[in-house]
Structure 1
């Protein structure tokens, strides 16, 4: 494995294992550590400039989050995400998002509702600017605000874990033609239902949003696969010429 990870800055207020975990999580999300790639504790520790202990602790946490898989006598690998895995995650997340939004319709405060509405305006502005980084950042804040409005900490933790397992695909999905505008409209419908205190409508809006998100992600993955296959064929032709 090439030296691709930046050394950890030791001036963080967080425990070292958490800093290492976030660094590895981000490397997986951004594709620096690729699906199916073997995770070597010693090499990662050297790249990050830390001992093996925080790396080992971080890997265990990432396994619980679904980012890596530990295989007896074979080692640890960056998790591959199959279509079945995605289907299962969305199946569970759809049910939990529906519950969360329904609870938010019952418990949201005026301040939280106002914050959601401001975030929608911000996302709309970032879409016009084409600022994907800010879109993703604000989208995460939007969902976090709704989760906390449900007033169920255990539910927040479970949904966040499921969401994290798909974070590496977020930009791919949002970059799919028309998805950003559709997502913004779906969010508006969710906020409208929550604002009216309509638990049933909020739950249904969440379900539609998740169904559309899954559909778009699978379409984007298929398009990416075809694009990569086309590039590989083109490269092979040039090599044979």
Structure 2
């Protein structure tokens, strides 16, 4: 986490507020596990590192707290929220309802221009799965699934999906460390694309459901404590891969 990260955000959008930029930098570090679950956030040190005052920093932390990414404990400080297996399963169950429906709608109303863009996202996923850049993989996954939801043209589906987007990113990150899933996930993304391209609603919905089931499989059947250990082991794998 560096001052350069803030400067890059202001280059992209010079009109954003300082607190919003700090929020985005911190959120990215939490999602990508540069700030690990349970880590105490030293406000003084962080303000010095980013070269900002405490006021916009605290405003950013307040927003992260409202969204559940950090917790504030009286007389102890601010900490990155611990991972919750039950929370992860709730998100997966929510996606199981939303994403197949979105894929079905998209198969019926996607335009040729949108289909070409979806193909680009599909091909990008196939490429990054062969690489070792977990951040790129996370972005490719998000682009693909979010675009399908947008192509559904249903404003309520889009709104519901956007509400869980940051949570979804945080919990999906450790899945990319499961190399055995990659071959299956590559194939399922291509199947979703092909079904939408052929306007086959039934197959598009079934493929989207299969994708969600695959994401849930690594922890399916684990009790809470053993699942937490599984997650932490995968976080360590991610950190090792990112450091290579």
Query: Residue 200 and residue 149 in structure 1: after superposition, are their counterparts in 2 closer, same or farther (change >3 A)?
Result: same
Shift of residue 153, structure 1, vs aligned partner = 3.9
Choose the corresponding residue for 1:6, options 2, 12, 19.
2
Point out the structure with max Rg over C-alpha: 1
Pair 1:57-2:59 in alignment: yes
Query: Residue 124 and residue 30 in structure 1: after superposition, are their counterparts in 2 closer, same or farther (change >3 A)?
Result: closer
Shift of residue 228, structure 1, vs aligned partner = 9.5
Query: Residue 153 and residue 217 in structure 1: after superposition, are their counterparts in 2 closer, same or farther (change >3 A)?
Result: farther
Pair 1:30-2:24 in alignment: no
Shift of residue 49, structure 1, vs aligned partner = 1.4
* Helix, strand or coil at the partner of 1:178: helix
* Unpaired segments ≥5 residues, structure 2: 237-244
Normalised by the size of structure 1, how large is the TM-score?
0.78
* Helix, strand or coil at the partner of 1:77: strand
Alignment of 1:106-185 (within 5 A): 106-185=108-187
* Unpaired segments ≥5 residues, structure 1: 230-241
Deviations 1:23-60 (A, max 9, x none): 10122123232212233444432322112232222223
Paired residues, what number?
225
Pair 1:100-2:102 in alignment: yes
The answer as to whether partners of 1:98 and 1:202 remain within 8 angstroms in 2 is yes
Query: Residue 197 and residue 225 in structure 1: after superposition, are their counterparts in 2 closer, same or farther (change >3 A)?
Result: same
Shift of residue 131, structure 1, vs aligned partner = 4.6
Deviations 1:173-205 (A, max 9, x none): 122122222111111221222223333332222
Choose the corresponding residue for 1:18, options 14, 17, 20.
20
Query: Residue 228 and residue 165 in structure 1: after superposition, are their counterparts in 2 closer, same or farther (change >3 A)?
Result: closer
Choose the corresponding residue for 1:215, options 204, 214, 217.
217
Task: Measure the CA separation in 2 of the matches of 1:157 and 1:68.
Answer: 23
Task: Report what 1:234 is aligned to.
Answer: none
